[in-house]
Amino acid sequence: MSKSQFGVIGLGVMGKSLSLNLAEKGFDISVYNRSEGDEAHIVSEFIDTNNAFKTLSGFTTIKDFVLSLERPRKLLMMVQAGAVVDIVIDQLLPFLSPNDIIIDGGNSHFKDTQRRYLNLKEKGIQFIGCGVSGGEEGARKGPSLMPGGNLESYKGVAPILEAIAAKDAKGQACCTYIGNDGAGHFVKMIHNGMEYAEMQLLAELYALLSQTMNNDAIAKLFSEWNNSDLSSYLLEITIDILRKKEGDDYLLDKVLDKAGNKGTGNWSSKTALDLGVPANIMTSALFARYLSAFKDNRVQLAKQLIHKKSKGKAPDLNALEHAYRMARILNHHQGFQIMQQALEAYSWQLNLSEIARIWTNGCIIRSQFMEDAILYLKTSTDLLSHPSIFKTLEASEPDLLSLIQSAMTNRVASDTFWSAYNYWISMTTDRLPANLIQAQRDYFGAHTFQRTDAPLNQFFHANWTHL
């Protein structure tokens, strides 16, 4: 029997879609899924349903699956991030040979990927931690792929990964070698942090607009924006969501207002904290999700409110458009700043412009701004240092303020827009009250301070009680 060129482990939604994408591109594929319990028929059903693809072979034992692959073996794990990844690697190891390549396409934490990369390297096995973005449709039609690991091992799988990836405006694959060990999963994690913020900005706009507009009217406004430089995949799907009806009712109105998460937004916020990057927009978006989960408390407390909300005043739609643009630019700036810091902290050669390029299609945060970011990031990795971006932000400041004021008047929480505003104000303020923080630290802990009237390499301590 001829051997398969590539293997996929895990026939969940993403594993199935990627397998079909691979088969469609003409690769001979082996797929494996365990067959315990309610997963007994997953493999056979998948093969039967897709019998149009003659290049698909299904397996329910790891050994047969591994032995069905040509050497060096190349296999992609699409299993749940966390302990399952280690379990599957342990199951694979007895049957693998030196130079075989394992790709982890799940949303693994980059530090787990670094550990697995080193462990497997000792055993002569190549490990690639590959960010995969685009959800089910992306996986089937072309995801954005962020592979990290050893460059040589990437070259071994590049023709396959690049064939199944989405294509950018110039027809190039939205897949590029990101960097060593956990770099690929790191970049995917930051993608998700930015995704949380992009989603929450839209949610806050929806909350504010729905004070005075119905879902169709909001969708109409968003469609206008989506025909401009503000266009993005997330805006596009939000328009569909707003318009979806169930009978006479909007389906969205019946969706419970408790947001879930699988952890990547949490990891990106923690990483920003670890690296000292003030990425307050994604952090606010994360906290907004956490807060939404306190549904019962919210319902209880809302009942106790004495002053019921009066019908809100319609916000200035022009101002909202400018404010949204501004907050999005700042979110992108913060995301790229985390990657810029990581580049130094982890000695990765991250090419931010190239990362923007592979995020222009296939992934969840693809947008017109991402197209523009390719060029901006070529000359400076600090988006705020670009005069045209700075000009846009400065001109939009009153509009962001107007959005916040309108949200306050309407009693609509808008943490993410507030964070964007505060970030912008602080970043453009030459003297912050951090002098008082330093004085307080010195007062109670003799932590010392620098002076504005002395060289910065000198540190002072004062007796603050002695007036």
Catalytic (active-site) positions: 188, 195
Q: Is 353 in the site for ligand 6PG (CB under 6 A)?
A: no
Which of 261, 340, 422, 438 binds ligand 6PG (CB under 6 A)? It is 261
Q: Is 292 in the site for ligand 6PG (CB under 6 A)?
A: no
Q: Is 364 in the site for ligand 6PG (CB under 6 A)?
A: yes
> Is the CB of residue 27 less than 8 Å from the CB of residue 69?
no
Q: Is 134 in the site for ligand 6PG (CB under 6 A)?
A: yes
CA distance 104 to 50: 24
Q: Is 363 in the site for ligand 6PG (CB under 6 A)?
A: yes
- Among 233-241, 262-270, 311-319, 409-417, the segment contacting ligand 6PG (CB under 6 A): 262-270
Residue number with the smallest Cβ distance to ligand 6PG: 133
In whole angstroms, the minimum distance from the beta carbon of 191 to ligand 6PG comes to 6
Strand 56-59 and strand 29-32: the pairing is: parallel
Determine the size of the site formed for ligand 6PG (CB under 6 A): 14
Q: Is 107 in the site for ligand 6PG (CB under 6 A)?
A: yes
Number of Cβ atoms within 10 Å of the Cβ of 448: 13
> Is the CB of residue 399 less than 8 Å from the CB of residue 326?
yes
Q: Is 407 in the site for ligand 6PG (CB under 6 A)?
A: no
Q: Is 264 in the site for ligand 6PG (CB under 6 A)?
A: yes
CA distance 3 to 406: 63
- Among 25-33, 94-102, 131-139, 201-209, the segment contacting ligand 6PG (CB under 6 A): 131-139
Collect all residues with Cβ–Cβ distance below 8 Å to 455 and sequence separation of at least 6: none
CA distances to 58, 133, 143 from 136, in Å? 20, 9, 9
Q: Is 211 in the site for ligand 6PG (CB under 6 A)?
A: no
Minimum CB distance to ligand 6PG smaller for 92 or for 373: 373
Minimum CB distance to ligand 6PG smaller for 133 or for 396: 133
Q: Is 195 in the site for ligand 6PG (CB under 6 A)?
A: yes
In whole angstroms, the minimum distance from the beta carbon of 171 to ligand 6PG comes to 22
- Among 29-37, 61-69, 130-138, 404-412, the segment contacting ligand 6PG (CB under 6 A): 130-138
In whole angstroms, the minimum distance from the beta carbon of 131 to ligand 6PG comes to 8
**Phi then psi for 426, rounded to 5 degrees?**
-65, -40
In whole angstroms, the minimum distance from the beta carbon of 258 to ligand 6PG comes to 13
Which of 105, 265, 315, 335 binds ligand 6PG (CB under 6 A)? It is 265
Minimum CB distance to ligand 6PG smaller for 15 or for 315: 15
Which of 247, 260, 276, 445 binds ligand 6PG (CB under 6 A)? It is 260
Q: Is 337 in the site for ligand 6PG (CB under 6 A)?
A: no
Collect all residues with Cβ–Cβ distance below 8 Å to 386 and sequence separation of at least 6: 376, 379, 380
- Among 67-75, 229-237, 254-262, 329-337, the segment contacting ligand 6PG (CB under 6 A): 254-262
CB hemisphere CA count around 268 (13 angstroms): 34
In the complex, the residues that contact ligand 6PG under the rule CB under 6 A are 107, 133-135, 191-192, 195, 260-262, 264-265, 363-364
